[in-house]
Amino acid sequence: MGLLVDIRRTHVFQDRGRTQTSTHVMHPFLNVRGPHRDRYEVLRTVSPRKKQSAHVTYAEFAEMVAHGCFEQFNIRVRMKPLNSIYPSSPPALHPHADDIVPNSDFARAVSHVDTRVPLSAQVKDVLRQLGVVLG
């Protein structure tokens, strides 16, 4: 299934009728088919009716977390629960630093990113795809 279990985000689902709620532990997941295979989907709302999406590799994801792109530009990542049972389409949630499991492979990948160096060209391209205007 390609879940990044090094990131764990608790999410409460509530149906549109507000009659059913359920709590899920969510993880970013890899696309397993198509042109975006082995990439995570990231999204950003650019207007009330328009969302932009892009797809990132594991390394780009770690770089974006290290540089604070998710918080700074209000970017979310598509997530699923470990058991794959979710009552709706997978939501896009904000990954927070405290959602990352300490001493995990992903935590180490984030810590190895040199934040003194500007963003890579690949991450800048992703941000442009998401409608971020870079200075």
Q: For 43-92, what is each residue's pLDDT tens digit? A: 999 888 999 999 999 999 999 999 999 999 999 999 998 876 777 778 89
Q: Flag whether 3 is in a domain.
A: no
Mean pLDDT rounded to a whole number for the chain: 91
Q: Flag whether 107 is in a domain.
A: yes
For helices 58-66 and 121-129, give the axis angle rounded to 10 degrees: 80
Looking at the structure of the chain, the number of domains it has is 1
Q: Flag whether 74 is in a domain.
A: yes
Q: Flag whether 79 is in a domain.
A: yes
Q: Please, what is the Cα angle at 90 between 89 and 91, to 5 degrees?
A: 110
- Selection from 101, 89, 97 nearest residue 5 by Cα: 101
Q: Flag whether 55 is in a domain.
A: yes
Q: Give the mean model confidence (pLDDT) for residues 27-43.
A: 92
Residue 129 phi/psi, 5-degree rounding, is: -60, -30
Q: Flag whether 134 is in a domain.
A: no
Q: Flag whether 99 is in a domain.
A: yes
Q: Which two tokens stand for residue 47?
A: 């207007």
